[in-house]
C-alpha cells in the first residue's frame, strides 16, 4: 500500500514499453466510443444525480484517516466497499471507527449527519459544495470483516430515513466476457474534503488476476488514486466493486492514471443475507 495525504490505496507498478502503452491508449479510446454508443444521456444523468448513491468510506485509524470509495445498496443505508479500506497500514491493524460521507447539496438526505463540511470555491463566484458525514458501523459476517473471503466489506450508516441507492445488475452471479465495457464511478481526490469532481468512466474487461482475495477480473481504463471501493456498473446497475489498481509507468513520462484495475463481481443474492436492518434487531 502507498499513502497519499492519509489515503491508502493498493497499487502495483507495472512497466510497459512505449509501443504497448500506445496500443493500450488506442484500446481505451475504443472503449470510450462504445460507451458513447450505449447512451451518453443516461451516464450524464447518473453523474448529475443529487444526492448520489456513491459515497466515501472513512476509516479512522490511530493518528490518520484511510479513505476509499463505496456505494449505497439499500434505502436503509447499507454501503458496499472494498474490505481493505478498513486496514490501517500505518499502525498495522484494522480500524474500528468509521464515517460515511455523501457529497453534494445534501438536499433529500436523512437527518443525522455528525458533521457537514462546506467548501466555497472563490474561482466559481462563490459556488458552494457540501460533504455530509454520518457515523457508520462495519457489519461483520460470522466474525469476519470480509464477505466470502473476498476484498468486500459491508457498512451501515447510522441515520433514520431513506438514502439514495443503486440496484444490482443481477440477483444471481452474472456472466461476463472479454471486451465487456462497464462504468467505474468514483469521486476524484477522495482525500480532499468536499472535492466535487465525480468520474463515470468506461473500463473494458481484458483478463483475470489471482490475488490474496482469490480470482478477480481485470479491466483497463482511466482511474484516479483512491478509487478502491468504487462501483462498477453495467446498464446503470451495480455489477462490481474495484479492489486494486495497477498503474502504467511509461518511459520519460512517469506514472499516469491509465492502466489496469481489478474488481470483484457482486450480485443481489451474494449480499442480501448479510444485510442487517433495525427491524431485525431482537432487542427492539
Q: In this predicted structure, what is the pLDDT of residue 36? A: 46
Domains 2-47+167-270 and 50-165 share a fold: yes
In this prediction, residue 254 has a pLDDT band, given cuts at 50, 70 and 90, of: low
In this prediction, residue 86 has a pLDDT band, given cuts at 50, 70 and 90, of: confident
In this prediction, residue 261 has a pLDDT band, given cuts at 50, 70 and 90, of: very high
Least confident of 20-29, 162-171, 267-276: 20-29
Spatial CA neighbour of 71 closest among 194, 184, 203, 230 = 230
Give the DSSP letter string of 15-76: E--HHHHHHHHHHHHHHHHHHHHTTHHHHHHHHH-SS-SEEEEEEE-SS-EEEEEEEE-STT
Region 2-47+167-270: CATH code: 2.40.10.10
Q: What integer best gives the mean pLDDT of the chain?
A: 82
The architecture (CATH level 2) of 50-165 comes to Beta Barrel (2.40)
**Helix, coil or strand: residue 215:** strand
202 has a pLDDT exceeding 50: yes
CA dist 212 and 86 (Å) reads 16
Per-residue pLDDT tens over the stretch 111-170: 999 999 999 887 887 788 999 999 999 988 777 888 877 899 999 999 989 999 999 999
In this prediction, residue 99 has a pLDDT band, given cuts at 50, 70 and 90, of: very high
CB 108 within 8 A of CB 96: no
190 has a pLDDT exceeding 70: yes
Taking the domains of the chain in order of start, what are their residue ranges? Answer: 2-47+167-270, 50-165
Per-residue pLDDT tens over the stretch 156-166: 999 989 999 99
Torsion angles phi and psi, residue 258, rounded to 5:
-125, 130
Spatial CA neighbour of 146 closest among 243, 55, 281 = 243
Spatial CA neighbour of 195 closest among 263, 101, 77 = 101
79 has a pLDDT exceeding 90: yes
Q: In this predicted structure, what is the pLDDT of residue 253? A: 64
198 has a pLDDT exceeding 90: yes
Average pLDDT over residues 36-45: 74
Q: In this predicted structure, what is the pLDDT of residue 263? A: 96
Amino acid at each position: 500500500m502507498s499513502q497519499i495525504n492519509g489515503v491508502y490505496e493498493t497499487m502495483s507498478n507495472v512497466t510497459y514499453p512505449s509501443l504497448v502503452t500506445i496500443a493500450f491508449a488506442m484500446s481505451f479510446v475504443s472503449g470510450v466510443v462504445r460507451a458513447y454508443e450505449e447512451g451518453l444521456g443516461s451516464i450524464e444523468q447518473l453523474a448529475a444525480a443529487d444526492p448520489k448513491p456513491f459515497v466515501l468510506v472513512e476509516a479512522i485509524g490511530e493518528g490518520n484517516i484511510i479513505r476509499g470509495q463505496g456505494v449505497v445498496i439499500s434505502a436503509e443505508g447499507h454501503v458496499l466497499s472494498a474490505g481493505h479500506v478498513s486496514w490501517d497500514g500505518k499502525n498495522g491493524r484494522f480500524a474500528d471507527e468509521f464515517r460515511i460521507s455523501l457529497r453534494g447539496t445534501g438536499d433529500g438526505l436523512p437527518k443525522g449527519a455528525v458533521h457537514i463540511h462546506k467548501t466555497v470555491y472563490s474561482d466559481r463566484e462563490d459556488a458552494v459544495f457540501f460533504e455530509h458525514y454520518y457515523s457508520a458501523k462495519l457489519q461483520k459476517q460470522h466474525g469476519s470483516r470480509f464477505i466470502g473471503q473476498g476484498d468486500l466489506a459491508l457498512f451501515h450508516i447510522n441515520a433514520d430515513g431513506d438514502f439514495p441507492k443503486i440496484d444490482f445488475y443481477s440477483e444471481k452471479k452474472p456472466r461476463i466476457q472479454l471486451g465487456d465495457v462497464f462504468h467505474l464511478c468514483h469521486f476524484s481526490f477522495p482525500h480532499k474534503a468536499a472535492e466535487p469532481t465525480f468520474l463515470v468512466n468506461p473500463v473494458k474487461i481484458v483478463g483475470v488476476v489471482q490475488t490474496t482475495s482469490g480470482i478477480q477480473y481485470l479491466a483497463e481504463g482511466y482511474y484516479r488514486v483512491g478509487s478502491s471501493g468504487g462501483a462498477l456498473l453495467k446498464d446503470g446497475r451495480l455489477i462490481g466493486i474495484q479492489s486494486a489498481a495497477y498503474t502504467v509507468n511509461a518511459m520519460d513520462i512517469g506514472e499516469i492514471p491509465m492502466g489496469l484495475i481489478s474488481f470483484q463481481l457482486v450480485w443481489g443474492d451474494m449480499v442480501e443475507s448479510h444485510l442487517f436492518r433495525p427491524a431485525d434487531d431482537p432487542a427492539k
